[in-house]
Copies of this chain bind each other. A is one copy, B any other.
Amino acid sequence: MDVMPAVPAAEVAADLQPRPIPGAMLEALAARFGPRCTTSRAVREAHGRDESPFDVAPPDAVLYAESSEDVADAVRLAQQYRVPVIPYGVGSSLEGHLLAVQGGLSIDLSRMNQVLAVDAQDLTVTVQAGVTRKQLNDEIRHTGLFFPIDPGADASIGGMCATRASGTNAVRYGTMRENVLGLKVVTADADSVTTGTRARKSSAGYDLTRLFVGSEGTLGVMTEITLRLYPLPEAVSAAVCSFGSLDAAVATTISIIQSGVPIARCELLDVNAVRAVNRHDRLSLREVPMLLMEFHGTPASVQEQAQAVQQLAHEQGGEDFEWATTPEARTRLWTARHHAYFAALQMRPGCRAVTTDTCVPISRLSECLIETVAEAEVSGLPYFVVGHVGDGNFHVGYLLDPARPEERDLAERLNRQGVARALRLGGTCSGEHGIGLHKMDFLIEEAGVGAVALMRSIKHALDPYNIMNPGKVFAW
């Protein structure tokens, strides 16, 4: 699904030259993989887009890989012919990661969807990169364990590694950074390398796992991933709390985090988002700003946490909690939250959205969010706000009429202003979506020329022919 007026990706990555797959390599791919490697136009187009604003940039061919060996053999050919390789999971990237801006081979990992080993006693699992997060949780449900990272979309675990994803549970359980124990990666020279172990910690050498997590496919293709799991909490309660203003909801969030209550989820929806999910999911939430929260623990601890948070909310004029204690009621609420984005799009028929992703230190959240929303109000563009506010991370979605380019320009200007504000407040341009094609300038602003030069040195060292998802994160 496109979420913004289409823009040629080449406008962003202006220095990129096409590096099409030569005939000899196509023949070698056909010989090795048969019909699993295709140049069908429809398949190529489906693999040359994601949920970013950019126009389709199809690869020259798509390989459906079924093993690490498949991936290694394909990368070996790509290395030999100096052709780009783009790993593909489910296509839910928001920043243009999947676009073949120089052509090349898209390696679709969706058939690598085996849960390879559940080590319930160690709270670890090893999966192939194409396993999705919902599939994983379905397959391990019988163990009494779960994998908490939840970016909304039913993304592949490989894709979630690539963007260092987080989502609603990160406030308690951390992000992919904290929850990946080890990887199998096919590097640019077609080696299969293993990083990390199943031990919870290690001081053995450079942290290659963390280097690959968040590298957006630019350093190698992750084919297997070992993750931490958590015992399903004995008790879970979800609550909705309505507030008279966004200010009050954000102030409550800040005091929750500063108090150290181990809240499991703390999500903000502004009035526009609440209105959208009410209509989309036929709910009857009060159409005012709200926090959607979840508490995990023993029954006593859940009760204690909820009481502490209710008290903090009352101090800001928040209403009494409305509870969702049954699994069904909770699922209904969280499904609505996950639908917020699509629900909001339907509030302006035919629209697309530009979505921001800033994240700031918690004490600056109020300043950052309230100023950003004030700007959105003044702009006249329809918008909505949802946020993993416990982490200081929120998204403003600007709803655009694709027939009016000035709206897109305005939304991008608002995005730039929001990022500048977040950076000034000690934050980051991307809490969880990554850099891709869309935020390369923001990365330089945020990290500085020196840090980006270090990243580039690492890229040059590990991928000297720039075959791994070229044109993303930073210019070559």
Chain A residues within CB distance 8 Å of chain B:
119, 121-124, 163-166, 170, 174-175, 177-178, 187, 191-195, 197-208, 210-211, 213-215, 230-231, 233, 254, 257-260, 297-298, 300-301, 304, 357, 359-364, 391-393, 422, 426-435, 439, 442-443, 446-448, 450-455, 457-458, 460-462, 473-474
Contact = CB atoms under 8 A, between A and B. Distances in A.
B206 A392 contact: no
A414 to B, nearest CB: 19
Given A121-B363, A191-B450, A392 B199 contact: yes
Contacts of A443: 204-205
10 nearest A-B residue pairs (beta carbon) = A210-B210, A461-B461, A231-B260, A121-B363, A202-B428, A122-B361, A193-B450, A198-B426, A199-B359, A198-B361
Given A203-B430, A204-B443, A207-B211, A454 B193 contact: yes
Nearest to A390: B200
A307 B364 CA distance: 40
A446 B199 contact: no
Contact of A359 (B201, B258, B393): B201
Given A164-B202, A199-B391, 20 more contacts: A121-B254, A166-B201, A178-B178, A191-B450, A193-B450, A193-B451, A194-B450, A197-B426, A201-B359, A202-B359, A202-B428, A203-B357, A203-B431, A203-B434, A204-B434, A205-B435, A206-B454, A208-B447, A297-B301, A298-B304
A208 B301 contact: no
A389 B452 CA distance: 39
Contacts of A211: 206-207, 210-211, 458
A208 B260 contact: no
B455 A458 contact: no
A62 B252 CA distance: 51
Given A230-B260, A301-B301, A458-B462, A163 B203 contact: yes
11 contacts: A164-B203, A191-B450, A191-B453, A193-B454, A194-B450, A194-B451, A198-B426, A203-B435, A206-B473, A231-B259, A300-B300
B197 A428 contact: yes
A208 B451 contact: yes
Given A122-B361, A193-B448, A177 B201 contact: yes
A119 B363 contact: yes
A205 B214 contact: yes
Contacts of A359: 199-202
A285 to B, nearest CB: 27
Contact of A462 (B202, B298, B426, B454): B454
Nearest to A455: B206
Given A359-B200, A361-B119, A208 B164 contact: no
A95 B213 CA distance: 28
A420 to B, nearest CB: 14
Nearest to A195: B451
A206 B215 contact: yes
A431 B201 contact: yes
A194 to B, nearest CB: 6
B197 A474 contact: no
B124 A205 contact: no
Contact of A300 (B202, B304, B447): B304
B199 A428 contact: yes
Given A211-B210, A211-B211, A457-B461, A447 B201 contact: no
Contacts of A175: 201
A174 B178 contact: yes
Contacts of A193: 448, 450-451, 454
Contacts of A257: 123
Contacts of A163: 203
